[in-house]
Amino acid sequence: MSPKGQAAAEPTIALVVAMGENRAIGRGGNLPWHLRSDMRYFREITMGKPVIMGRRTFKSLPRALDGRLNIVLTRDRGFVAPDAVMAHSLEEGLAAARASAKRTRAEEMMIIGGEDVFLEVLPQAGRIYLTEVHASPDADTWFPALDVSEWREVSREAHAAGPKDDHPFSFVVLDRVG
């Protein structure tokens, strides 16, 4: 409870995505580029916060993400991931993330993919951490189209490709209007 007896604000549902200019987000279960700078940014903005991902996204990782509660959405009740919480619906995953965020006082619950998860949760999201990758790679996984009237750009940082980055990119933060 806050000093005036009001409950703390609900944690924001925030999407974290790197997307090509053609809305590409994945190819063959992996990212269609290598951007070490984006990996560092991803770690920085998600650390200490619950992260929700689909089963295929979890399987694309070398291991569970350290320092964050990993929540894996899967319809496969037999799937078990070490060091992660299984959720069999978006609502179940959000409830686990919300409980964790309240315990740790995290202000956000981070949704990190993939395509189906982004599509399902987008109507509830309040923020998007978008890495705009300045390329249009071949892909088989896409980020849903955004209704630009529903989002306001609150920050943008353009970056040239660093020594271990395949492409130039921009870090953009979008907040839902209203």
CATH assignment of the domain containing 167: 3.40.430.10
For residue 82, what pLDDT is reported?
86
Q: Let me know if residue 122 belongs to a domain.
A: yes
pTM, rounded to two decimals: 0.93
Looking at residue 178, its pLDDT comes to: 78
SS3 140: coil
Let me know if residue 146 belongs to a domain. yes
Task: Give a yes or no: residue 6 inside a domain.
Answer: no
How many structural domains does the chain have? 1
Whether 2 is covered by a domain: the verdict is no
Exposure on the CB side of residue 171, measured as CA atoms within 13 A = 14
One pLDDT digit (tens) per residue for the chain, 178 residues? 444 544 568 999 999 999 999 999 999 999 999 999 999 999 999 999 999 999 999 999 999 999 999 999 999 999 998 899 999 999 999 999 999 999 999 999 999 999 999 999 999 999 999 999 999 999 999 999 999 999 999 999 999 999 999 999 999 999 999 7
Domain encompassing residue 63: 14-176
Instruction: Give the per-residue pLDDT at 78.
Output: 94
Q: Examine residue 1 and state whether it is found in any structural domain, yes or no.
A: no
| pLDDT score, position 1 | 43
> What pLDDT does 5 receive?
47
| 3-class SS of residue 10 | coil
Asked if the structure places residue 4 within a domain, the reply is no
**Residue 111 and residue 14 in contact, taking contact as beta carbons nearer than 8 Å:** yes
- Strand (E) or helix (H) holding 153: strand 151-159
Residue 173 CB burial class (10 angstroms; 0-12, 13-18, ≥19): middle
Residues with Cβ < 8 Å from 104, sequence gap 6 or more?
A: 48, 49
Cis peptide before 78 (omega within 30 of 0): no
CB 157, CB 173: distance < 8 Å: no
114 within a domain of the structure (yes/no):
yes
Q: Is residue 9 part of a domain?
A: no
